Structures are given as C-alpha cells and as structure tokens.
Amino acid sequence: MTSFRAAAIQMRSGVDPERNAADLAEYVGDAVGKGAVYVQTPEMTGALQRDRKTLASVLKGEADDVIVRTASALAAKHGIHLHIGSTAIARDDGKIANRAFVFGPDGKMLTRYDKIHMFDVDLDNGESWRESAVYAPGADTVLIDLPFARLGLAICYDVRFPQLFRAQALAGASVISAPAAFTRQTGEAHWHVLQRARAIENGAFMISAAQGGVHEDGRETFGHSLIVAPWGEVLAEAAHADPAIIVADIDPALSAAARAKVPNLKNARPFGLIVENDGEKTRLDVAS
C-alpha cells in the first residue's frame, strides 16, 4: 500500500438534489486541485429533507439518481476515487436506503453500503429523531480494496458501535470512515472523542466528512469534518460548521506501526460475563 492524499468535503446540503449535485461538482474540483486522489463527502450529500413525503417525492432509484450519476462522472473526469458518504436512494421494494457509494477513477461504481444503525433518539430540548421510520437498515458492513488502502465503510450513527469498526480492522482495514450529519447537540458533546477513539482502538486512519450549519429543512448539523491518524492525532479539521475542504496525506504504514506498538487487536481474548444476585451466579458468554 502507498501513501495518498485524502480530502473530506464539508457540505451544507439543501433540499434540492440537483443543486446539491452542482455544489458537489465544484467541491470535488477544489479537492482535486489540492492534490486529493481519494475524496469523501458527508452523509446525505444529495438532500437533507426531514419531511418524509417531500423526501420521497424527489427520490430516484440508483440508476436514475443525480448524485450517483454526477459522482460517477466526476470520478472519471478527475481520475480519482470518490466516496459519497451517503445519499437517500429509493429501493425497488418501496423503502428508502441511506446508501454510501465508492467510485473508481474510470467512473465505475466499486461498492455500496447501506447504513446499519438507525438514529432513533430522544435528546434534550425536545430534539427527537426516528430514522427507522424513514429508512430501511442495511445488514452488512463493507470493505473495499483501493490501490492505496483497504477502506471500511460506515455512516454517522454507526460510529457509536465500536464492534463494527473492530470487525473491519480485524479484516485488514487501515482506513475507516464515518461520514456524517451529526446534530449540533450530539456533535458538541461526542463528535471528536468518538472519531479519535475509533482511530486509536483500531490503529486505523479515521476519515469523516460532515454536514455543517443550519439547513433548509431547519435542522442544524455540527460540521467539524475530521481526518485522524492511527495514534489519535487530528491531521486535519474543519474547525467550524461552514462548507470547507480538508486534506491530509495518509501513509497506511502508520496503521501497521500503531498496531505493532499496541497490539490490542491481537491481544483480545474471549471472556464471560458473571452476574451475581443474592449469592447466585449467572455466566453469559460475550464476544471479545
């Protein structure tokens, strides 16, 4: 594996996929101008629309989606690997997928990933979300071999489930990702520590492009796109919520070096869980 320059694009996607696709083209061109050969966009690149009926009315199937079509053309035009963090896709069964894509330098779609974990939460100040009411969850995590690294795909809320990234790391991923549309409230509390923790505990680069600012549908996202090294250093950050492009040089050998210094992936052992209640013990087997 060889060193490469990665870019994370911070966006403020609106409700119109066509307009967001035009913004995408501009941002990708700027990222390539900064020397990036791998470019990542945030969750819901195509549209942030919280009204379910309105969202459904603008959705297309994968073959007709404007973001898919634009991303394929941009990857081929610039000769890069383009990772669409996600966009909403109408499935053949009438449901909606929160789906990521990776395109190769010839414009070919290399892989896709549907977000597994649904953001069903009740936050402070009345903020509540039920992604499961809109989206169908995926079932499988995905790795893709790029010329310069094995990349693990995830989306936003997935970042709170470390077992997903552990499985990717054990399968050889030296770069992991969680492009996101984190709420401002959860981002202020948890974004940085979660991103750095996933990088450190897996000895992997973490690249997460983010949505940022107040969107047309009224939601507010945190921004602060990040690229983190396997030892936990923040290599690049958009330290705000405005649209931006961050870049960093990624050397996959540093992943192997971090794992050699602290070989927690190798040192993990199976263990049981004992629950004691009134002198009685119950033992449960759990994963390492």
Indicate which residue of 34, 43, 53, 220 is catalytic.
Answer: 43
SS3 readout for the chain: CCCEEEEEEEECCCCCHHHHHHHHHHHHHHHHHCCCCEEECCCCCCCCCCCHHHHHHHCCCHHHCHHHHHHHHHHHHHCCEEEEEEEEEECCCCCEEEEEEEECCCCCEEEEEECCCCCEEECHHHCEEEHHHCECCCCCCEEEECCCCEEEECCHHHHHCHHHHHHHHHCCCCEEECCECCEHHHHHHHHHHHHHHHHHHHCCEEEECEEEEECCCCCEEECCCEEECCCCCEEEECCCCCCEEEEEEECCHHHHHHHHHCCHHHHCCCEEEEEEECCEEEEEEECC
Among all chains, which residue has been given the structure tokens 């991303």?
Answer: 71
Beta bridge partners of 11: 211
CA distance 116 to 18: 27
**156 is an active site residue:** yes
Distance CA 122, CA 271 (A): 33
Q: Which of 156, 220, 266, 280 is catalytic?
A: 156
Judge whether 115 counts as a catalytic residue. Answer: yes
Return the amino acid letter for 260: A
Annotated active-site residue in 26, 53, 95, 115 = 115
Which residues are tagged catalytic? 43, 115, 156
